Amino acid sequence: MKTLAGKVAVITGAGSGFGRELALLCAQEGMRLSLADVDEKGLEATRDLLPAGTAALLQRCDVSQGWQVQQLADRTYAEYGSAQLLFNNAGVAVAGPTWTTTEQDWEWVLGVNLMGVVHGIRNFVPRMLKQGDECHIVNTASVAGLLAVPASSVYCVSKHGVVVMSECLHHELQAASAQIGVSVLCPAYVNTGIADAARNRPGELADANPEAAAYEERVRQAVKKGKISAADVARITIDAVKENRFYILTHPAIKPAVEMRLRDIVDGGQPRNPMP
């Protein structure tokens, strides 16, 4: 995947944040785009930023619903006949103590963050295998998929799932001798708008953690102080695709905390707080 021109990129969560910046970079690389999001206005804003002449189809898609991701795949293949680069990128977040989380917190976040990736893999990988050409899949996780962050259990569980699913997928595709690379994107705090993800929370899943507000405000402030931008993360990600790198850690300063957690597991001690 060193050359992207002429190939097809599918991007979920393309209406803002990483998804929008990935769309812009893929367009600059000469790719054709299939862009999905629940936020139709955001999708249209992304389209308006694309270079003139970029082939881009837009699809409203709730990735937590498998049938909607299947529709996205059906439309992509009907329009373009193939897909070489899949970004399972859509994501949401909640915060607060584990004991006050609601069932709907879990259903919403796991539905989007974890099952959204599952649906992307199930609907695109079999078709990619039939294509027989070089393809690549990028699953957006987080450093929260490598650490245990207090007051973020719902989010961490969803992102740990994405990391291990990506690792399993990598091993499986290697065993199948498939020409499909896999990467898992694990950024830290970046100002993407995910701190305000509740704007797209379905009404039927509105029962939120009653103690979330103070914790979510801390996350919002931390995100605003992020030292790299969504555009930076997108560039790092595209470079990783071209280099076929699996783990994409955009914030190297987090590595000691990851190492500390692994050391605690190996040594059998009490887990230390990565964010004291």
Residues annotated catalytic, as ranges? 155
Distance of CA 124 to the CA centre of its chain: 15
Q: Are 149 and 107 in contact (CB under 8 A)?
A: no
Alpha helices of 10-152 — where are they, by DSSP H?
A: 17-28, 40-49, 66-80, 103-109, 115-131
Strands (E), the chain: 8-12, 32-37, 56-60, 85-88, 135-140, 180-185, 247-248
- Residue 46: closest CA among 63, 29, 62, 33: 33
Neighbours of 51 (CB within 10 A): 9
| Dihedral-angle region of residue 273 (phi above 0 means left; psi in -120 to 50 means alpha; beta otherwise) | beta
For residue 151, the tally of other CB atoms under 10 A from its CB is 21
